[in-house]
Amino acid sequence: MATTILECAGLKKYFGGVKALDGVSFNLAKGEVHALVGENGAGKSTLIKTLSGAFAWDEGTVSLKGKPYSPTDPREAKDKGLQVVHQEFNLLEHLSVAENICIEAMPRRAFGFLDRAEMARRARAALDAIGLTDVDVSTRVETLGIAHRQLIEIARALQSKSDILILDEPTATLTDREKERLFAIVESIQEQGVTVVFVTHHLDEVFRICNRVTVFRNGKTIITENIAESSPERVVQHMIGASLDSSVDESRNHPTFGELALRVENLVHVQNPHGEGVSFELRYGETLGIAGLVGAGRTEILRSLFGVNEIVSGDIQLDGKSVRFRDPSESIAAGIGFVTEDRKDEGLVIDMSIAANVSLASMKKVNRAGFMDFSAEQRNTQQRAGQLKLKYGHFNDAASSLSGGNQQKVVLAKWLESGPKILLLDEPTRGVDVGAKAEIYSIIRSLAVEQGMAILVVSSETPELMTLCDRIAVLANHRITGILDRPDFSESAILQYAYGQDPNARQQA
């Protein structure tokens, strides 16, 4: 094996009490293509941000080319030869390809005038270096497709002398042909002696172009393997870990549910690229989870059921009757509540009072001939606060004065006030501390079991779904790849479905 260029040992990074990195150790060899894989939140993004100088780590050491390395800002990381192409593009759409490539160091002539000829020459050279000879450097970026933009980012990153190039989810938005082109470019970069770090969710790509793979789980590096000696199944096994599979509560294996609440058939919404859509059923008293990787189309299902996202085709039956909501006011009237993913942008009117937030989706209950019934509002808020064990100062305090967990309880209270029969939950415990998490779980369970609510919950945390749900539907790229009943719950099965693998086919592996 070639010489080691970068070595990480025992990296740790805390955000408040959360361990984002909890012991990351691995090395990169000169000229290799090295994959970083792991579930959402396993620590890959945090690692990239620390290595590229976006923020510092708390413990551990990194050495680059044998010298200690701790960049204080992204510029220093670049100067030392480490370049990152981020998932979100940083291109200026209205400028030309040449301007974008040279943006960090515009060539200048005397008196600070821009040297356009030199700029075009440098850009041309950068594009040619990665074989992108068919793109004119004077083209404006906004006229190019996603794939070209990605490649231009890579060209920009590579024009200054780089030793390490980190590609964060580079294939997420590419078509198969575009991917092939990217892979060819990665190979040619590799031949020039550059180390490429490839962060991805797609194991087939890992096994296609990478030399080694490092697996992350819960902020730790689990193992680094040579691709030649590994298999996708082994990698998934490492990502999941074996011990967690036993945490399923056996007592809930044979529950009884009520009437059919919701039947969804071939639902296709505007963001869905496939024609067949998704189909599932939900009964009163039942909690159905929707698992899947980020971008698999989970939130979009909830939003289209609720009448926010436009539905292209398919049938939704509520209590046996076909419905199609065009606006949240209609779905709320029909008895649906929607706890959105983003508290600050969609869930709360954060600068308004707790009471105002609690009554926002059920103004009828505090409406006396157009005037506010403030005492009714206080009573209702008090009642919900008791039910949800809300910790607060005063109901007239702004929602922003609360902790994350209590803010989430206010969102829940708002929807419970509207008296829903069906509750849609999107990441119900994101940014919530452990104690409040447990409380929210028990609230959700009691809504289903004691009040017979039909609950549909989307979460990126597999253990959360396994705790809350009676069934879990797994989504991969806008398709349901599997629906698991409670006895069949396992992190490995869910993860394999999420990666588009069939868990039943690997029993003997």
Partner 1 sequence: MTATTKTSHKYSAKSILESFGIGIALLLLIVFFSVTTEHFLSSNNITNILSQVTINLILAIGMTFVILIGGIDLSVGSVMAFAAVVAGKAISMEGFGPAELITVAIIAGLAAGFVCGLLNGVISAYWALPSFIVTLGMLNIARGAALHITDARTIYSFPYAFEEFGSLLFYGIPVVFLVALALVFIAWVVLTRTVFGRILYAIGNNEEAVRLAGHRVFRYKVAAYTICGLTAGIAAIVYMARLNISSPIAGIGFELNAIAGVIIGGTSLSGGRGSIIGTLLGVFIIGVLANGLILLGLSDFMRQMITGVVIIVAVILDHYRAKYAS
Q: Which of residues 313-352 bind partner 1 (CB under 8 A)?
A: 327-329, 331-333, 338, 340, 345-352
Nearest to 360 by CA among 342, 326, 383, 337: 337
Region of 67-75, 244-252, 369-377, 495-503 interacting with partner 1 (CB under 8 A): 369-377
Is 449 one of the binding residues for partner 1 (CB under 8 A)?
no
* Rg (the chain; Cα; Å): 26
Region of 116-124, 174-182, 400-408, 494-502 interacting with partner 1 (CB under 8 A): 400-408
Is 108 one of the binding residues for partner 1 (CB under 8 A)?
no
Is 465 one of the binding residues for partner 1 (CB under 8 A)?
no
Is 60 one of the binding residues for partner 1 (CB under 8 A)?
no
Q: Please give the size of the binding site for partner 1, defined by CB under 8 A.
A: 41
Nearer to partner 1, 105 or 369 (CB): 369
Q: Least distance (Å) from partner 1 to the CB of residue 354? A: 10
Nearer to partner 1, 106 or 323 (CB): 323
Is 386 one of the binding residues for partner 1 (CB under 8 A)?
no
Q: Which amino acid is at 196?
A: V
Nearest to 469 by CA among 435, 441, 500, 492: 441
Residue 355 sits at the vertex; the CA angle it makes with 350 and 357, to the nearest 5 degrees, is: 40
Instruction: Tell me which DSSP letter residue 350 carries.
Output: T
User: CA 103 → CA 108, 129, 135, 159, 460, distances in Å?
Assistant: 12, 18, 18, 12, 37
Region of 51-59, 242-250, 268-276, 396-404 interacting with partner 1 (CB under 8 A): 396-404
Evaluated on CA atoms 324, 330, 335, 339, the torsion sign reads: positive
Q: Which of residues 410-429 bind partner 1 (CB under 8 A)?
A: 414, 418
Nearer to partner 1, 362 or 490 (CB): 362
Tokens for 98?
């040449």
Nearer to partner 1, 311 or 332 (CB): 332
Is 402 one of the binding residues for partner 1 (CB under 8 A)?
yes
* Separation CA 338–CA 299 (nearest Å): 11
Nearest to 58 by CA among 96, 18, 30: 18
Q: Which residues pair with 424 in a beta bridge?
A: 338, 456
Nearer to partner 1, 209 or 332 (CB): 332
* Separation CA 502–CA 476 (nearest Å): 12
Beta-strand pair 195-199/33-38: parallel
Q: Least distance (Å) from partner 1 to the CB of residue 246? A: 37
Q: Which helix (H) or strand (E) holds 223?
A: strand 220-226
Nearer to partner 1, 266 or 400 (CB): 400
Binding mask 127-156 for partner 1 (x = CB under 8 A): ------------------------------
Chain-centroid distance of CA 10 in Å reads 26
Binding-site ranges for partner 1 (CB under 8 A):
306, 308, 327-329, 331-333, 338, 340, 345-352, 356, 360-361, 363, 366-367, 370-372, 391-394, 396-398, 400-403, 406, 414, 418
